[in-house]
Amino acid sequence: MSSKELVLWQNVDLPAIPKSVSKIEDLVDYGVQLHNKDKKQIITAFNNEAYDMVSTYTWTKAVIYLKSQLSKMGISFIAEMLDRPDINEHTNIQQAISDFEAIRLAEEFGVISGTSAFRLKRAMETVTHFNQPELDEDEENEITQDEAITIVRTCIQGILRYSKIEAPIDFKNFRLELEGNILEDENPYILKLVQSPYFFHRAVVRILISLIKTSNGAQLENSLANSNLIIPMLWGNLQHAEKWQIGRTYSELFTNGQTKAASGLKRALLKVRGFDFVPEDFRSASFIKVANEILAAHDGMNNFYNEPKPVSTLYSMGSVIPIPAFPICVTAILSVKLGNAYGVSNAAQEVVDEILKGISKDRWIHFFKECLKYNDRLLYKLMEFRPVNRWFSLFSASLLDKAILEVQDRDLVQLLKYTRENDRDKLMGIAGRMYKKIGYSN
Amino acid sequence: MKSGKPISLRSVILGETVSFLEAEGMECLITQNGIVSLVNQLVNYREEGKDLFPKVYIVDDMNLIIKSLPMSQHCYIGQGDKTKETMLRALKKCAPLTEADWAIYIQRNEDNFSFGVFRAGTSLLSVSIEDFLINNGTDELKVILLHQISDKLIEIKGVKNEPLMISFGGREETSRSPIESQSEFIKTIVRHVDASIREQTSNFFKKVFNEILKIGHGTLACTISGSKSLVPKRLEDGIILRERIDIPEIIKELLEKDDLQANSKLNGFFTIIVGMMESDGITVFTDRGEVAAYNVFVKHPESIAKTNTSGGARSRTFLTLCKLIGKGIESVYIQSQDGKIEIEENE
């Protein structure tokens, strides 16, 4: 491996666009991915005060380019990294993964910096909000010049000024190392891995799973040997979402007849006594699929309009969510319930409330204990003013009291206490710190 | 009056079983006696006039095994004292339940034996229990498999030992089990199948060939190069399929769509291919996992026609096909009615 440093993948960024560059004509000049025709259209629309058009156009260009670059890393790899069993080699990546997922993935691979990811998420929310068809034709509901400039700058700075977006060399080497060699437990990287932020644990597990599913021969054997070393080391600290992902992969390998791969992963699961995380049937896969559809709607354009349909589908699938699908389903439902900085999908709220009512106290305690600590989506929401206000109305005092007693983790206890006390500033503060601890920059 | 000379296999089997159990870390006096009795019972096992081929797994932790087998089912049937009689009762009570893909388990508990049947997987593609627990087994899951693999031939397999083959017929000793020979031939069928689905295609054909072995029907098969669109002239006397049965393609479809339709297609072709292999003549496979023809007959050259083989026409055809290896044929497989298997392939 070329580097033994813990921060495995980090892109060597081009220097930021100078602050002094603020004119639209100068800004678009940095966008090497924009054709001259694009640049002209952006400038003309901007000068005609069509800021909505400028923002949406630039945003769409940026996110399409980002997704197409990500897809070059292999669709099945992307599917594993996102824990999306519904995506396969024939899936159109532009449609299948949401803008939020693309940004998150790019950040996780080190393709874009944490600051860029933060700004891109803000830009995404702004564009999404102002594109809602139900917004009144009011001056207040139009993107301002400043907002448009910020969006254009963010898209160019983060994505469009790169001639090629690719994962840093360290990341590629790391993947190659996992499939090309059998790592020893005294390998410095392995020693440091346990101490590294959760973000890396999750990434390593997902890379291993992807390698096991897709490789053959010596590469498969190396990946399995490394899984047998790494999974038992990380298992104790893995969240249920990741444990279920490993169990589900194992079950898929078995039913798909991949004897060697299934047997290799069996060894790792035997070591950690992890068979409780192997789903007993395929029912959970349908729930996971619908939960991902909810998240895709939530992250996409016209989100408030598109959320009710998949939410209703989830509701109609039955009141008890299978436990392997619970982490992703509860994340999807809470995403709709909490909304974003601009509001919520009103049409989806009634059904969401029904689903939330169906979640038992024990399941909620399970959620706090096993699904929240490293849940970047929800923690990100809890760093925002309006979603936090909605969060306060979700849980009864008695449930929170019970959860505080049962949850061991210090950060979680604090988060629950601040929730119990309706202390918005402190809650936002702890959510931000927890988000950072996962390994994200903001 | 002359006294007779008794010959019994019992002491030989017992001796082998003791060291077998020891190597597996499963030493037990009762188990070793039970295995000898089970082996004896499994030879050409019949119930109500019907031949049965139960697989018997002797295990130490059935709960863990069931947990580790995805999509598995199990049905507890009963329990009894820790004696060989209980092991035999387990076989008697469970064997009629094992016609499809169910297997028998006998769990060794502290004070008794419990038994029942179990299965795993969802389709023909799923990893077989034997591959999973034995061929790719681990120390943590202690398991021994006993089954009849062909006429009068019982196999005992464990995780650590080489398989033990016990022949009750007059056949010559062979170091290679029929299953191994089958695997070698199947390798030639999947040689040019896309690497990403070669293992699955191989699993499918293993199940087809196992079925033929169980049925106890003799069969002849050969492989030709999949790159040639026509079967060699010498193999034209038979049913040449207008459209080859492309198993890897169906497997790909099943893996992609994962729906009932693709699954039923694969099941359908499983039955058809078994039927083809049960027909007279040769079944022709390609090295891309396809079936190109069946019910094919070849003319025996004079030199072979006059050969005094004990196996009759099928053996002569095998010899004829062997002569064609490298001249359009890549490998040849013969399975006689008594389960004897031979293969020849292009080196």
pLDDT digits (tens, 9 = 90+) for A188-200: 778 777 777 787 8
Give yes or no: residues B204 and B55 share one domain: no
> Is A175 inside a domain boundary?
no
In terms of pLDDT, which residue wins out, A132 or B322?
A: B322
- In this predicted structure, what is the pLDDT of residue B300? 82
Nearest CA in chain A to B200: A257
Assign 3-class secondary structure to chain B.
CCCCCCCCCHHHHHHHHHHHHHHHCCCCHHHHHHHHHHHHHHCCCEECCEECCCCEEEECCHHHHHHHCCCCEEEEEEEEECCHHHHHHHHHHHHHHCCCCCEEEEEECCCEEEEEEEECCCCCCCCCHHHHHHHCCCCCCCEEEEEEEECCEEEEEECCCCCEEEECCCCCCCCCCHHHHHHHHHHHHCCCCCHHHHHHHHHHHHHHHHHHHHHCCCEEEEEECCCCCCCCHHHCCCEEEEEEEEHHHHHHHHHHHCCHHHHHHHHHHHHHHHHHHHCCCEEEEECCCEEEEEEECCCCCHHHHCCCCCCCHHHHHHHHHHHCECCCECEEEEECCCCCEEEEECC
CA distances from B129 to A141, A332, B145 (A): 63, 37, 10
Is B256 close to A263, i.e. CB distance below 8 A? no
- Give the end of a domain, one of A160, A190, A213: A160
- In this predicted structure, what is the pLDDT of residue A1? 40
**CA contacts within 13 A on the Cβ side of A415:** 26
* Distance in angstroms (rounded) separating the CA atoms of residues B279 and B296: 9
Average pLDDT of the residues of chain B: 88
The answer to whether A212 and A190 have CB atoms below 8 angstroms apart is no
Best residue of A228, A258, A271, A278 to probe chain B, by most B CBs closer than 10 Å: A258
- Give the end of a domain, one of B136, B167, B198: B167
Give yes or no: residues B220 and B330 share one domain: yes
* Distance in angstroms (rounded) separating the CA atoms of residues B147 and B38: 9
Structure tokens at A61: 């260009």
Nearest CA in chain A to B139: A267
Is B69 close to A254, i.e. CB distance below 8 A? yes
Instruction: Examine the pLDDT at B54 and tell me if it is beyond 80.
Output: yes
- In this predicted structure, what is the pLDDT of residue B275? 93
Is B70 close to A255, i.e. CB distance below 8 A? yes
* Distance in angstroms (rounded) separating the CA atoms of residues B250 and A199: 39
Q: How many CB atoms within 10 Å of residue B232?
A: 16
The answer to whether B51 and B337 have CB atoms below 8 angstroms apart is no
* Helix orientation angle between A346-357 and A308-316, rounded to the nearest 10 degrees: 20
> Is B93 inside a domain boundary?
yes
Q: How many residues does chain A have?
A: 442
CA distance A240 to chain B (A): 18
* Distance in angstroms (rounded) separating the CA atoms of residues A254 and A231: 19
CA distance B257 to chain A (A): 10
- Using an 8 Å CB-CB cutoff, list chain A residues near B65: none
- In this predicted structure, what is the pLDDT of residue B340? 77
Give yes or no: residues B162 and B212 share one domain: no
Structure tokens at A294: 């909810």
The amino acid at residue A22 is S
Give yes or no: residues A289 and A366 share one domain: yes
Instruction: Examine the pLDDT at B126 and tell me if it is beyond 50.
Output: yes
The answer to whether B289 and B189 have CB atoms below 8 angstroms apart is yes
B→A interface, C-beta within 8 Å: 64, 67-71, 120-123, 125-127, 131-132, 135-136, 138, 140-141, 195-196, 198-200, 203-204, 255-256
Give yes or no: residues A360 and A335 share one domain: yes
Give yes or no: residues B191 and B122 share one domain: no
Is A257 close to B195, i.e. CB distance below 8 A? no
Nearest to A216 among B121, B132, B195 (CB): B195
- Using an 8 Å CB-CB cutoff, list chain B residues near A258: 127, 199-200
- Using an 8 Å CB-CB cutoff, list chain A residues near B121: 254-255
**Which mean pLDDT values do the consecutive 10-residue runs of chain A (442 residues) have?**
43 69 89 90 93 93 90 80 79 85 84 85 88 71 89 91 68 79 83 78 89 90 95 92 92 92 94 90 85 90 88 89 92 94 89 93 94 92 92 94 93 96 94 87 56
- Give the end of a domain, one of B167, B199, B217: B167
Give yes or no: residues A353 and A269 share one domain: no
CA distance B128 to chain A (A): 8
Give yes or no: residues B56 and B156 share one domain: yes
* Distance in angstroms (rounded) separating the CA atoms of residues A177 and A171: 10
Give yes or no: residues A226 and A321 share one domain: no
Structure tokens at A73: 């890393």
The answer to whether B98 and B75 have CB atoms below 8 angstroms apart is no
Give yes or no: residues B157 and B107 share one domain: yes
Maximum C-alpha span of chain B: 76
Q: How many residues does chain B have?
A: 347
Sign of CA dihedral A237, A242, A243, A249: negative
- Using an 8 Å CB-CB cutoff, list chain A residues near B120: 254
Instruction: Give the mean pLDDT of B221-226.
Output: 94
Beta strands in A236-325 (DSSP E): none
The amino acid at residue A321 is I
Structure tokens at B177: 């089990």
Instruction: Examine the pLDDT at B26 and tell me if it is beyond 90.
Output: yes
- In this predicted structure, what is the pLDDT of residue B331? 94
* Distance in angstroms (rounded) separating the CA atoms of residues B276 and B293: 9
DSSP-derived 3-state class of residue A394: coil
Give yes or no: residues B214 and B131 share one domain: no
Is A254 close to B121, i.e. CB distance below 8 A? yes
Give yes or no: residues A423 and A387 share one domain: yes
Nearest to B126 among A90, A216, A257 (CB): A257
- In this predicted structure, what is the pLDDT of residue A3? 40
Give yes or no: residues B94 and B243 share one domain: no
> Is A168 inside a domain boundary?
no
> Is A169 inside a domain boundary?
no
DSSP for residue A164: S
* Distance in angstroms (rounded) separating the CA atoms of residues A243 and A240: 5
DSSP for residue A88: -
Task: Indicate the number of domains in chain B.
Answer: 2
Give yes or no: residues A344 and A296 share one domain: yes
Give yes or no: residues A272 and A287 share one domain: no
- Give the end of a domain, one of A239, A262, A277: A277
pLDDT, one tens digit per residue, over B32-47 is 999 999 999 998 888 8
Report which of A60, A29, A104 is spatially closest to residue A439, judged by C-alpha positions. Answer: A104
Report which of A225, A205, A236 is spatially closest to residue A268, judged by C-alpha positions. Answer: A225
> Is B108 inside a domain boundary?
yes
- Using an 8 Å CB-CB cutoff, list chain B residues near A221: none
- Contacts of residue B94, defined as CB under 8 A and 6 or more positions apart, other chains included, come to B54, B77, B104, B115, B116, B117
- In this predicted structure, what is the pLDDT of residue A78? 83
> Is A5 inside a domain boundary?
no
- Give the end of a domain, one of A220, A252, A277: A277
Query: Does A90 reach chain B within 8 Å, measured CB to CB?
Result: yes
Query: Does A205 reach chain B within 8 Å, measured CB to CB?
Result: no
Nearest to B71 among A251, A260, A266 (CB): A251
Q: Give me the percent of chain B exceeding a pLDDT of 70.
A: 94
Query: Residue A260 is part of which domain span?
Result: 181-277
Is A259 close to B199, i.e. CB distance below 8 A? yes
Query: Does A267 reach chain B within 8 Å, measured CB to CB?
Result: yes
Query: Residue B113 is part of which domain span?
Result: 10-167
Give yes or no: residues B65 and B106 share one domain: yes
> Is B247 inside a domain boundary?
yes
DSSP-derived 3-state class of residue A278: coil
Give yes or no: residues B132 and B229 share one domain: no
> Is B4 inside a domain boundary?
no
Best residue of A86, A266, A273 to probe chain B, by most B CBs closer than 10 Å: A266
The answer to whether B152 and B166 have CB atoms below 8 angstroms apart is no
Give yes or no: residues A298 and A253 share one domain: no
The answer to whether A246 and A254 have CB atoms below 8 angstroms apart is no
> Is B1 inside a domain boundary?
no
Structure tokens at A415: 């988060």
> Is A8 inside a domain boundary?
no
Give yes or no: residues B106 and B144 share one domain: yes
CA distance B192 to chain A (A): 15
- Give the end of a domain, one of B139, B167, B195: B167
> Is A173 inside a domain boundary?
no
Nearest to B70 among A90, A251, A260 (CB): A251
> Is A207 inside a domain boundary?
yes
Specify the pTM: 0.81
> Is B172 inside a domain boundary?
no
Task: Indicate the number of domains in chain A.
Answer: 3
> Is B260 inside a domain boundary?
yes
Tokens 């508990």, residue located: B109
The amino acid at residue A102 is A
The answer to whether B163 and B177 have CB atoms below 8 angstroms apart is yes
Pairing status of strand B282-286 against strand B143-150: unpaired
Q: What are phi and psi of B51, to 5 degrees?
A: -75, 135
Query: Does A184 reach chain B within 8 Å, measured CB to CB?
Result: no
Query: Does A263 reach chain B within 8 Å, measured CB to CB?
Result: yes
- In this predicted structure, what is the pLDDT of residue B175? 60
- In this predicted structure, what is the pLDDT of residue A13? 55
Give yes or no: residues B119 and B197 share one domain: no
Best residue of B60, B73, B128, B199 to probe chain A, by most A CBs closer than 10 Å: B199
Best residue of B68, B204, B257 to probe chain A, by most A CBs closer than 10 Å: B68
Sign of CA dihedral A429, A431, A432, A433: positive
Residue A78: is it exposed, middle or buried by C-beta count within 10 angstroms (0-12/13-18/19+)?
A: buried
Give yes or no: residues A431 and A331 share one domain: yes
The answer to whether A239 and A258 have CB atoms below 8 angstroms apart is no
- In this predicted structure, what is the pLDDT of residue A263? 93
Local confidence band at B152 (pLDDT 50, 70, 90 cut-offs): confident
pLDDT, one tens digit per residue, over B153-179 is 899 999 998 888 888 776 665 566 778
Instruction: Examine the pLDDT at B29 and tell me if it is beyond 60.
Output: yes
Nearest to B126 among A255, A276, A282 (CB): A255
> Is A166 inside a domain boundary?
no
- In this predicted structure, what is the pLDDT of residue A5? 42
Structure tokens at A309: 């349909």
Give yes or no: residues A32 and A153 share one domain: yes
Give yes or no: residues A309 and A266 share one domain: no
In terms of pLDDT, which residue wins out, A419 or B100?
A: A419
> Is B2 inside a domain boundary?
no
CA distance A353 to chain B (A): 33
- Contacts of residue A217, defined as CB under 8 A and 6 or more positions apart, other chains included, come to B195
- In this predicted structure, what is the pLDDT of residue A8? 42
Query: Does A88 reach chain B within 8 Å, measured CB to CB?
Result: yes
pLDDT, one tens digit per residue, over A346-355 is 899 999 999 9
Is A254 close to B136, i.e. CB distance below 8 A? no
CATH of the domain at B227: 3.40.1700.10
Run of H or E residues at A352: helix A346-357
Give yes or no: residues A138 and A246 share one domain: no
Q: How many CB atoms within 10 Å of residue B63?
A: 11
CA distance A314 to chain B (A): 21
* Distance in angstroms (rounded) separating the CA atoms of residues A417 and A191: 35
* Distance in angstroms (rounded) separating the CA atoms of residues B264 and B254: 9
Q: Which of A83-92, A367-376, B288-297, B317-326 is the least confident region?
A: A83-92
CATH of the domain at B85: 3.40.1700
